[in-house]
Structure 1
Amino acid sequence: MLFQVGGQGARPTFFEMAAAQQLPASLRAALTYSIGVLALRRPFLHRILDYEDEFFALLMLVLETHNLRTTDASFSESLYGLRRRAVNIRTKKDVAGSKSDNGSPHSNLEKRQKVLSVVFLVVLPYLKSKLHSIYNKEREARLQASLWGDDNERFGDVGNFVEEEDSPVSRRSLDADASITARMRKRAQKVIGVCYPWLHASTEGLSFAYQLLYLLDASGYYSVALHALGIHVCRATGQELMDTSSRISKVRNLERDRLRGPQWLKRLQGALLSCTYTILDYAQTGLIAAVFFFKMMEWWYQSAEERMSAPTVYPPPPPPPAPKVAKEGIPLPSDRTICPLCSQKRANPSVVTVSGFVFCYACIFKYVTQYKRCPITLMPAAVDQIRRLFHDM
């Protein structure tokens, strides 16, 4: 049940349905990022980002309407080779009519189901996105008011008082209408701020329950929208794909035959229809290819920037050569733990920084105080150049 990824059976797997459901959100994020990258060099594209919800809803409205009209599937479902089928059983007359019209015994979606599918796929997600943005603004306003207080309410009364002293009646009426509109807007925002979390939790809970039931084969509906519309999502067979392509070609030929007007106008309309059909046919492939291209360019330029900004790591320099032992100096013992001055085990080992040799602290302190030099290399040294070692070598 969980591993029917190979395409066996008409019922899609949970992973296919989940991938089809998450594709629009991933596509929106990728398109937003792509437009943001292009807007760095073309600032006018920031207007699209200002109306991101409307732009994406319009794009999905065109794609979903076209796909439901031609393939009886949503944009993401058609990409995964899925089709929507009505659950209600049709009469023999309807089945015979569908056979004669389309050449296949399957039943297409009704017009009402297609329209409601567009509503569930485009309109409701758009409204939810706007409610989510309003809720975020209201939450930020509440947080700011709790921290700093509401400045608008404190200073708004003073401005109205000053204006009312010298303003005409018309301005007073306009200000009153504006204040009423502002109050209504604030009340609506407060209502959304209170109700949206419950609405969001309810929808997410229902979605989780339907997905869990679908995963356990306890229900044939993957979502609430499919259950409300009475639609099952099934895998498309090869015959259905052939019937779909033939039906699309018939519909387009009929649309070309309906063109009226002079010859030049027919040619112009035919060229526009051909361009529209080409764009709609390759919209899926073009969008996926564009998203892949921009993500690849992002990775390419990001890795190049990281290489340029990363500091160059050079290998550590080799240690300097050890100082030479002077002929007149004290010879070094074979055991490195023995002090060269007292020929005993070192006590409180200390190093002379000018040469790097280690001695007992008492021995080297007396020697440097008296002779002002290192006893082995005879290099000039002072008492303040003696350092205590806490780890004897």
Structure 2
Amino acid sequence: MAERGAHLTAASAHEDRPSIFEVVAQDSLMSALRPALQHAVKVLSDSNPGRWGWLWRGFDEAFAVAELLLQHHFLSRRGGSFSENFYGLRRVAAGVGPSPVALPAGLRWRSLGLLVGAPYLGAKLGRLVGRLREEQDYAIRPPSSPRARLCRAALAAYPFAALAWQAWLLAQQVGYLLGRARQHSPLLRMAGVRLARITPQDGGTAGHSGSLSHWLSTGLSVGVFFLQFLEWWHSPENQDSLRGLTALPPPPPPLHLDLDRGPDPPPAALPALRTLCPLCRKVRANEAALSTSGFVFCYPCAHAYLKAHQRCPLTGYPSHTRHLVKLYAKEEH
């Protein structure tokens, strides 16, 4: 009888446990809000850089402050983050059964720090890694400097650190799915809380702020939907399908014109090797592209030909030396 009673007690302690679909859905809500809002800020900044440029430059900090205020409101009033409350979930102390919605102050501040600090640091780290990769690709710093060696070591270790984090997250979610873990996320484990469903009995103790909280939740929900729609609308895949760019055939190559006008030489023939200049028939040096036709020549050869004949050596299109575009290749180290 005692063993059966212990089993019932354990079952009642987990009857408010949400499904894996609910917890994953609430995670994706805030992760989708950030890029959508970032795209909206970028549109504003491009339309009026003088007024909204500062918001784009400091988007990470502005979003962190706004998220701090938002999450603090929902954690203190409803016992869970905005996305968790949107899906009818709340936070309770890990290792205990159903408890009042109001979190202890220590768990609330720890949850707030992880909810806001982890995405902020992740975004900053991603930007830093992208900048370091750009410096490495374009060899902005000497390869033998101590900072360059440190950057190479950090870039080499970053994929393994990201892989370890994703593996931990996957293991936590699989453990939650199989009933072996109380939390589906390492961040919840660090905060010392778990997620539970909001029950009708929680209505009187949830600490709702009445109509203000209701309208805030409704407005944010509509805003999230609008921003997600905006992100989808401006995605490259959707723009290509709307404009029909994927259905357009590639343009035909330029035609060779048989021009033989007195002293002008006939059009040159395109060499078999793409690395050869069509004029001097040698490997191209100091390369330059002719914008009127797209062909690439040695800059001295093309400059002299255009100065003398004012047309493309291959197609005969009217051209000038100002149509030459110098090409710069990355230096090999």
TM range (shorter): 0.5 to 0.7
> What's the counterpart of residue 234 of structure 1?
196
8 A contact 2:101–2:205 mirrored in 1: no
Q: Secondary structure at the match of 2:179?
A: coil
Give runs of aligned pairs for residues 346-357 of structure 1, distance below 5 A. none
Give a deviation string over 1:67-123, Cα, whole Å, max 9, x none: 111111011101111011113449xxxxxxxxxxxxx96363211111111111111
User: In percent, how many aligned pairs have the same letter?
Assistant: 28
Alpha-carbon distance in 1 for matches of 2:129, 2:159: 9
Is there any run of 5+ residues in structure 2 with no aligned partner, and where? 1-13, 249-333
**In 1, distance between residues paired with 2:157 and 2:122?**
12
Q: Following the alignment from structure 1 to structure 2, what is the Cα–Cα distance between the partners of residues 302 and 143?
A: 30
Question: Of the candidates 35, 38, 49, which is equivalent to residue 32 of structure 1?
Answer: 38
Residue 385 of structure 1: aligned partner: none
Instruction: Please point out which of 208, 215, 227 is paired with 1:291.
Output: 227
Structure 2 match to 1:61: 68
Change (3 A) 1:85 1:141: same
- Residue 306 (1) aligns with residue 243 (2): yes
Amino acid corresponding to residue 80 of structure 1 in structure 2: Y
Structure 1 residues 197 and 61 mapped into 2: Cα distance closer, same or farther (>3 Å)? Answer: same
Which of 224, 242, 250 pairs up with 2:186? Answer: 224
Equivalent residue number for residue 82 of structure 1: 89
Matched-pair contact (CA < 8 Å) for 1:81–1:235 = yes
Distance 2:88 2:120 in 1: 25
Counterparts in 2 of 1:131 and 1:215: CA distance versus 1, 3 Å: same
Distance in 2, matches of 1:40 and 1:117, equals 35
Q: Which amino acid aligns with 1:306?
A: R
Structure 2 counterpart SS, 1:85 = strand
Give CA-to-partner distance per residue, 1:166-196, whole Å, 9 cap, x none: xxxxxxxxxxxxxxxxx89767755643443
Q: Deviations over 1:281-326 (max 9, x none)?
A: 5552353254266468769x9699739xx99xxxxxxxxxxxxxxx
Q: Is the 1:82–1:235 Cα contact (8 Å) retained in structure 2?
A: yes
In 2, the alpha carbon distance for the partners of 1:112 and 1:187 equals 41
Q: Return the alpha-carbon distance in structure 2 between the equivalents of residues 29 and 106 of structure 1.
A: 34
Distance 1:293 1:88, change over 3 A: closer
Q: What's 2:134 paired with?
A: 140
Check whether the contact 2:17–2:197 (CA below 8 A) recurs between aligned residues.
Answer: yes
Query: What amino acid is aligned across from residue 27 of structure 1 in structure 2?
Result: L
Deviations 1:243-286 (A, max 9, x none): 32xx3349x9xxxxxxxxxxxxxxxxxxxxx8xx7875555235
Q: Which residue among 18, 29, 46 is the counterpart of 2:24? A: 18
The 1-side partners of 2:44 and 2:230 are apart by 10
Partner of 2:208: 248
Letter in 2 for 1:285: S
Unaligned 5+ residue runs, structure 1? Answer: 1-7, 91-103, 155-182, 253-273, 312-393
Q: Following the alignment from structure 1 to structure 2, what is the Cα–Cα distance between the partners of residues 213 and 19?
A: 17
The structure-2 alpha-carbon separation of the partners of 1:186 and 1:241, relative to structure 1 and needing over 3 Å to count, comes to farther
Contact 2:71 2:82 in 1 (8 A): yes
Residue 140 of structure 1 deviates from its aligned partner by 2.0
Q: Deviations over 1:35-54 (max 9, x none)?
A: 22333433332322222221
Contact 1:214–1:222 at 8 Å: present in 2 too? yes
Q: Which stretch of structure 1 is more off in the superposition, 71-80 or 50-59? A: 50-59
Distance in 2 between the 1:298 and 1:143 partners? 29
CA deviations 1:340-372 (Å, max 9, x no partner) are xxxxxxxxxxxxxxxxxxxxxxxxxxxxxxxxx
1:144 aligned partner, one-letter code: Y
2:117 is aligned to 123
- Distance in 1 (CA, whole Å) between partners of 2:194 and 2:217 is 25
Give 1:270's aligned residue.
none
Report the CA distance between 1:241 and its aligned residue: 3.0
Rg (Cα) greater in structure: 1
Is the deviation greater in 45-54 or in 287-296?
287-296
One-letter amino acid matched to 1:232: R
Give 1:223 shift.
Answer: 1.1
Structure 1 residue 139: Cα displacement: 1.7
Contact 1:66 1:280 in 2 (8 A): no
For the 8 Å contact 1:134–1:192, the answer to whether it is kept is no
